[in-house]
Structure 1
Amino acid sequence: MEAAFRYREREGDLKAPYEHTEGPYPLGRWLSEQRRTFRAGQMDGERAAELEGLGIVWDTADAAFETNLAAARAYYRLHGTLAAPRGAAILDVQVGQWLTNVRRPGGLGQDPVRAERRAAALAAVDPDWNPAVLGWTVDWQRHYAYLAQLLDEGARLRAVTAGVTRHGEDIGRWLVTQRRDWARLNPEQQARLTALGVTPARVVRARQAPAKKRSTTTSGRGAAAFEAGVQALAQYLAREGGGTPGRSHVERLPDGSEHRTGVWLANQRQRRDRLDTGQLEALAGLGVPWAAS
């Protein structure tokens, strides 16, 4: 209680992070234990009143969020990014899955004030915690962050070749892909890589026989439907960090409409020979393997 009083006097509230220590005392953990005792109905009224007088927050959702946020901070200290793969774990918390969940629409809670507060807390750890809003995937963000770290530590860009890894990720191979597929990156991705000294690969074009014209569907309602599908698939990949939506998957778009993305992707594969070059490139840019073959 003395540690809690000192913290409240200094900070103005009792929202101490789970990992916070007040001097040698683990205040954040102690507050979490008080909340658990209160929820279990095992705390007497006098102690509850004392804690409420200090301003403790009993909200269970906020307490759980703070515990996971503490794990996210620990992950960031080790990796320099919150672009964790889904299976990542630290401090006995499945932090990768938790971050995947909070990036989803409504993942920060239905209360807009609480959601904004939680988003700000994550942004205070890593401004790029949610790469989907920037237009790229968690996987891209993680590799980019690791490349920046290698260069900050003194590595030369030309020495980052295939086989150069960080935290188990092959950064060199990823870099080759970025230079090769430069035109598929959005302007902000290109700007970030350019700031690190990365330039697009030189393209040597061989003479080719005139290609047969491919039937196109790039106008009218068909083109609009295709663009909606690409938008839905890109949103899914940015949130999930990769993979392919199942046939029954339905994606909710920012305008509130629902898109049957799994069925749409299966249909595109069946009609591959009727897609034009631009459509195939758009799908290949999202990592759809059959579109690039």
Structure 2
Amino acid sequence: MINTERADWRRGAEAAYRYRQRKGDLDVPYEHVEDAGAFPLGRWLSDQRRAYRAGTMTGERAAELERLGVVWDTADAGFEANLGAARAYHDLHGTLAAPQGAAIMDVQVGQWLTNIRRPGGLGKDPVRAERRAAQLAAVDPDWNPAVLGWTVDWQRHYAYLAQLLAEGARLTAVVPGVTRHGDDVGRWLATQRRNWGRLNAEQQRRLGALGVGPQKAARARKAPAKTTTEPGPQAGGPRAGGTAFQNGLQALTQYIAREGRMPGRGAVEELPDGPHRVGIWIGNQKTRRDRLDATQLAALAELGVDWAQ
């Protein structure tokens, strides 16, 4: 009597060996058929992974496949490949706060980081998600700025400012037009000083550690009394609209960091200047999407707003 199960397994192992010799790995597509169409190697390897996870594979067989380079968990293999690209990006930029379009080593690392920052982006298995988060934190503790209450764009500029100062630049010399990796750090710094009161406590602490503080008020000059009063910016004008958007973005960032999901329409978030109806705000942004500029859409997309992609 011939043990057909043993014979089939041996045939599969030998097909895997030939594929490994020819291709250099065992990253076999599920639909691949080896031996001139005679053996479904991709499906066979999928069956072996299933048996390995279920604990029904013998140690001898597992060891033989591991010597050939089998990857038991293809999802983890993909994560490890992208993590390698993320490390390379960090080596070059000193941060994982990559813009969405960033690429390195033929990997769209910016889009990958955007995806895994979203709620559930590290996988449904909590143990695996925790392990992956730890791997990312080992590269950059601030890989997910949303949990800290600010955007990826803010984190990247802050990291670049810290790098410039560490390399010997004087803070007074970091003025608009001073760039790093194409980002205008000087202009960003001026904005932080001007909008100091809108930053959260941790943002202020981090900038303060670099010697940055709020913009000093200009000395008042005595002027003749005006006989007429000019109206200030109208509600909904450019300045009010910009402030309202930034406040809404801050409220949305805080909500997602705490709840791990998008807010419902009735959600209200507390900011230093009072409560913000963040659920209604995000709905309003969707209805006026065509009037948002590229920077505003990018900031929303980084937080996982699907219609802003």
Change (3 A) 1:229 1:198: closer
- In structure 2, relative to structure 1, the CA distance for the partners of 1:129 and 1:166 (3 Å cut) is same
**Alignment CA distance shift 1:142-1:230 (3 Å):** closer
For 2:284, the equivalent position in structure 1 comes to: 264
Q: What's the offset of the Cα at 1:65?
A: 0.4
Alignment counterpart, residue 131 of structure 1, candidates 105, 128, 145: 145
- CA deviation string 1:134-174 (max 9, x = no partner): 00000000000000000111111111111111000111111
SS at structure 1 position matched to 2:161: helix
Q: CA–CA distance in 1 between the matches of 2:65 and 2:80?
A: 18
Q: What RMSD in Å do the two structures reach over aligned CA positions?
A: 4.3
Q: Which runs of 5+ in 1 are unaligned?
A: 1-29, 216-227, 239-249, 270-282, 288-293
CA 1:62–1:261 in 2, change beyond 3 Å: closer, same or farther?
Answer: farther
2:70 maps to 1:60: no
Cα 1:267–1:67 change in 2 (3 A) is closer
Rg comparison, structure with higher value: 2
Pair 186,256 (structure 1): closer, same or farther in 2 beyond 3 Å:
closer
Partner of 1:251: 262
**Separation in structure 2 between the aligned mates of residue 127 and residue 149 of structure 1, nearest angstrom:** 16
Is it true that 1:233 corresponds to 2:214 in the alignment?
A: no
Letter in 1 for 2:192: Q
- The residue type equivalent to 1:197 in the other structure is G
Q: Which residue of 1 aligns with 2:194?
A: 180
- Give 1:281-292 correspondences, 5 Å limit: none
Deviation at 1:58, TM superposition (A): 1.4
Q: Residue 35 of structure 1 contacts residue 60 of structure 1 at CA under 8 Å; is this kept in 2?
A: no
CA distance, structure 1, for counterparts of residue 24 and residue 149 of structure 2: 40
Q: Which runs of 5+ in 2 are unaligned?
A: 1-20, 33-40, 49-59, 236-246, 269-277, 290-295, 301-309
Aligned residues: 218
Cα distance change on mapping 1:252 and 1:113 into 2, 3 Å: farther
String of CA shifts for 1:29-88, please: whole Å, max 9, x gaps: x9x963413855268899865134799641111111011000000000000000000000
Match in the other structure for 2:171: 157
How does the TM-score come out when normalised to structure 1? 0.62
| Counterpart-to-counterpart distance in 1, 2:144 and 2:69 | 31
- Larger mean CA deviation between 255-264 and 189-198 belongs to 255-264
Question: C-alpha offsets along residues 203-227 of structure 1, whole Å, 9 cap, x if unaligned?
Answer: 2376996989x99xxxxxxxxxxxx
Cα deviation per residue 1:170-195 (whole Å; 9 max; x = unaligned)? 11111111111111111111111111
Return the letter of the residue paired with 1:37. Answer: V
1:94 corresponds in structure 2 to 108
Letter in 2 for 1:36: D
Give the Cα separation in 2 of the matches to 1:147 and 1:87.
Answer: 21
Counterpart of 2:94 (choices 77, 80, 83) is: 80
Match 2:215 to one of 192, 197, 201: 201
**In structure 2, distance between residues paired with 1:231 and 1:169:** 22
Partner Cα distance (1:108, 1:266) in 2: 26
Q: Is 1:117 the counterpart of 2:131 in the alignment? A: yes
Match of 1:168 among 159, 176, 182: 182
Shift of the 262–110 alpha-carbon distance from structure 1 to 2, 3 Å rule, reads: same
Question: Aligned residue for 1:8?
Answer: none
Counterpart of 1:171, as a letter, is V
Does the 8 A contact of 2:26 with 2:69 survive in 1? no
For normalisation by structure 2, the TM-score amounts to: 0.59
Show CA shifts across 1:99-128 (max 9, x none). 000000000001100100110010000000
